[in-house]
Amino acid sequence: MKRCDTTAAWAALKGHFEAHGRSFDMREAFARDAGRFASLGFEAPEVFADLSKNLLDTATLHFLLDLARECDLEAQRDAMLRGEPVNTTEGRAVLHTALRAPPGVGPHAAEVHAVLDDMLAYADSVRSDWTLTDVVNIGIGGSDLGPQMVVRALDAHAPAGQRLHFVSNIDGHDLQPLLQRLDANKTLFIIASKTFKTQETMANAHAARDWFMSQGGHAIAKHFVATTTNVQAAAEFGITTTFGFWDWVGGRYSLWSAIGLPIAIAVGSENFRALLAGAHAMDRHFAEAPLAKNLPVVLGLLDVWYRNFHGFTSRSVAPYHQGLARLPAYLQQLEMESNGKRVDLSGAPLPFATSPVVWGEPGTNGQHAYFQMLHQGTDVVPVEFIAVKTPGHPWAGQHKMLLANCLAQSQALMLGKTAEQALDETAPTASPDIAPEVLAQHRSFPGNRPSTTFVLQALTPHSVGALIALYEHRVFTSGALWGINSFDQWGVELGKALCNQLLPRLSSGSTEGLDASTAGLLQRLTS
């Protein structure tokens, strides 16, 4: 396996970038090539992706595909899917795909389906238990973001008379306002933690248990359940109902496991199985489609093209569906915790950039906040639009407005507007003190700014499953080419260790041996 920058394809891409990439104008490319939309449109399960409004053409794709081949992307993918320990720094396999395979298929099928069946039967029993009005998931990172995002996306399937809540922050301002609204004997707490050691989750779990007892709550066994790989620690906490999973499921890849319990309660077992089936359909596409037609692969290659050749530092995600409001936050962990790495598998520092910053808000809200910068700022930020054809609400007119906005934004980013065009228009709020030529400069748009648009038929359990799996495999693809370990997260450890060292000082006020800044701040916070 070769790291991307050591390949002949990388050198060829560099040449291609200098000759065609740097100056590529997609408006000219559309004028030249009537088949551009067709040749840069990709079909995958549940997702159509239009890549034609990007700074590349089929020649660029050929170079990128050569890079994938030379980096043995398919062999790397197959090793992961077979269950080889590709997470080398933790000595673990990476098998979230096994969680959504049908019974009898792939590694660990028997144990996966045993827990899944139990978990789903339990979820349905909670869902139909009218004595439970509120379910609170206490977890953070992968034990929060995925389930929270999917519960929101599939809100249409939520049971009547039962509310799902998510508490993640160590900040008591997260838990306290929620507890004030709850009735202890009508509430179920799910303590979700792969390790059952995470500071935030354990602190909130203890606070919730103390509150439960103080409210005259009885039957901890009925009102607290755990989803974890650390069944022993959950038992020590006093929890008797635990749904387990395995160390080969990474935290940010765990919504398909028992960590998905809040999803299963929110949408029911049938829909949870449909979510898994959607993801499995995308897994098969990733495993079987030829590289040139493999959507996660092509998206991962586009990410490499933008990060390493164009030098773009971020990507903005704009889901034009309010149900996907938490998708950008979920993707931040998926992509930045996976690929925010600076050494390769051998520990050597990388001479090229890795994960971009991923950020965004649902459309149209983002348009009225930061889209100004996307259209006229000094940085080029590739944008990813997600359009959903069929709404779940009855207001057809509003949905048309939403879709028109989505299409208009990618069009505006691409087309731009010259100062000459701006000069020909009457500015609605033009000041008499500004020269028309000056104003035209302010009102012009460079255009040629890249975007990808995904189209989904509807937001369903199956399509949401496929969409998330698409993102997972895309992150795998860029990580594999970069030669990094996309499945560890050592970067979060130093802060955790220093926090543990500082914690007693918050009580003692001692600043001995601290750097001057931390000492000064600690003093302000404690004296």
Answer yes or no whether residue 452 interacts with ligand F6P by CB under 6 A: no
- Distance, in Å, from the CA atom of 486 to the CA atom of 479, rounded to the nearest integer, reads 6
Determine, following the binding rule CB under 6 A, whether residue 142 of this chain makes contact with ligand F6P: yes
By CB under 6 A, tell whether 127 contacts ligand F6P: no
Question: Rounded to the nearest 5°, which phi and psi values hold at 349?
Answer: -60, 145
| Residue 222 falls in the annotated catalytic set | no
Write the CB contacts of 316 (distance below 8 Å, at least 6 apart in sequence): 358, 359, 360, 366, 370, 374, 381, 382, 383, 384
Q: Which of 54, 162, 168, 201 is close enough to bind ligand F6P by CB under 6 A?
A: 201
Cβ 340 to ligand F6P, closest distance in Å? 12
Residue 489 sits in the site that holds ligand F6P (CB under 6 A): yes
Judged on CB neighbours under 10 Å (0-12, 13-18, 19+), 468 is buried
Catalytic residue among 368, 389, 400, 442: 368
Asked whether 97 and 306 are in contact (CB, 8 A), the reply is no
Q: Are 335 and 475 in contact (CB under 8 A)?
A: yes
**Enclosing H/E stretch for 43:** strand 41-44
Q: Which of residues 299-318 bind ligand F6P (CB under 6 A)?
A: none
- Per annotation, catalytic residue among 70, 337, 361, 384: 337
Q: Does 485 bind ligand F6P (CB under 6 A)?
A: no
Q: 């359909």: which residue's tokens?
A: 281
Contacts of 77 (CB under 8 A, 6+ apart): 286, 287, 476, 480
Any contact of residue 165 with ligand F6P (CB under 6 A)? no
Give min distance, CB of 429 to ligand F6P, in A. Answer: 48
- By beta-carbon proximity to ligand F6P, the closer residue of 245 and 272 is 245
* Helix, strand, coil percentages in the chain from 3-state DSSP, rounded to 5: 55, 15, 30
Catalytic, 236? Answer: no
Choose, by CB under 6 A, the member of 54, 60, 148, 198 that binds ligand F6P. Answer: 198
Stretch that binds ligand F6P, among 71-79, 176-184, 187-195, 443-451 (CB under 6 A): 187-195
Binding positions for ligand F6P, 220-279, rule CB under 6 A: 251-252
Q: How far is the CB of 486 from ligand F6P (least distance, A)?
A: 12
CA of 393: how far to CAs of 65, 157, 271, 406, 428, in Å?
A: 41, 13, 19, 18, 35
Q: How far is the CB of 203 from ligand F6P (least distance, A)?
A: 12
Interacting residue with ligand F6P among 195, 215, 365, 376 (CB under 6 A): 195
Number of residues binding to ligand F6P, judged by CB under 6 A: 14
Minimum distance, C-beta of residue 49 to ligand F6P, in the bound complex (Å): 28
- Maximal C-alpha separation, the chain: 76
Write the DSSP symbol of residue 269.
H
Residue 402 sits at φ, ψ, to 5 deg, of: -60, -50
36 near ligand F6P (CB under 6 A): no
Q: To the nearest whole angstrom, how small is the minimum distance from the Cβ of residue 227 to ligand F6P?
A: 9
Q: How far is CA 68 from CA 44, 57, 58, 74, 97, in A?
A: 19, 17, 15, 8, 21
User: How far apart are alpha carbons 113 and 104 in whole angstroms?
Assistant: 9
**326: which 2 tokens?**
């938490």
Task: Give the footprint of ligand F6P on residues 330-349 (CB under 6 A).
Answer: 337
Counting contacts by CB under 6 A, is residue 193 touching ligand F6P?
yes
Q: Which stretch binds ligand F6P (CB under 6 A): 46-54, 56-64, 189-197, 384-392?
A: 189-197
492 binds ligand F6P (CB under 6 A): yes
Q: Is 143 in the site for ligand F6P (CB under 6 A)?
A: yes
194 binds ligand F6P (CB under 6 A): yes
The reply to whether 141 sits near ligand F6P by the rule CB under 6 A is yes
- Shortest Cβ 516–ligand F6P spacing (Å): 28
Residue 128, C-beta contacts closer than 8 angstroms, at least 6 positions apart:
159
**Catalytic residue, candidates 197, 206, 442, 496:** 496
**Nearest distance from C-beta of residue 482 to ligand F6P, angstroms:** 19
Is residue 368 part of the annotated active site? The answer reads yes
467's tokens: 């969409």
By annotation, the residues acting in catalysis are 337, 368, 496
| Residues in touch with ligand F6P (CB under 6 A) | 140-143, 193-195, 198, 201, 251-252, 337, 489, 492
